[in-house]
Amino acid sequence: MTVGSTLGEDLKALRTSRGMTLEETAKKMGRSVGWLSQVERDKSTPRHTDLKQFAQVFGVQLSLFFGDAEAPENEQGRVVRSGNRRVIGERDKGLLETLVSPDLTDSFEMIHSTFQPGSHRSEAITRPTQEVAYMVSGRLDVWIGEDKFTVEAGDSFRIKETSYRWSNPYAEPAVAIWVISPPVY
């Protein structure tokens, strides 16, 4: 028996984590509710252009839908090997994020983030989530609300439905592991 998730299950998980109904999502995509239901149940396969629309509607990178690597059947949905994680971040902005969770069907997700030296997010972001990050290595400046913190290896911090931004002005990459609930990718 395969335990892993399918594209349809991932799309449904993204939709429900955003509190969207089948009707709302279908309308935003200009498609029928029946088509969307079939896609979520893996009865119909979306085209590449459909996946682009899903990425836009859900606010995720298109690459999220193409990262499944071959894994032995008994590992699917349970074990994610380090070289088989799905890339979900934007490499060109100095932040590389990969999905540590086996799929998007849990009530939380785990993300591995690498912040390159000199990279930053200058505009604050606010998400309807609870997030905890554990610093594996390096140092990172984090603004939670208006308060600035410098965190380093071994430190952790929480962001709970408030704005945040970050900067890595240091010479070494900063690596963090995040737990985010509900999933946003």
At 92-121, the pLDDT tens digits run 578 888 889 887 778 888 999 999 999 999
Other Cβ atoms closer than 10 A to 146? 8
What is the distance between the alpha carbons of residues 150 and 137, in angstroms, rounded to a whole number?
A: 13
| Contact predicate 161/130, CB 8 Å | yes
* CATH topology for the 106-181 domain: Jelly Rolls (2.60.120)
At 11-66, the pLDDT tens digits run 888 888 888 999 999 999 999 999 999 999 888 888 878 888 998 888 776 666 76
100: left (phi over 0), alpha (psi -120 to 50) or beta: alpha
| Contact predicate 4/72, CB 8 Å | no
The structural architecture, per CATH, of the domain 7-66 is Orthogonal Bundle (1.10)
Q: pTM for this structure?
A: 0.70
| Contact predicate 64/99, CB 8 Å | yes
What is the domain partition of the chain in residue ranges?
7-66, 106-181
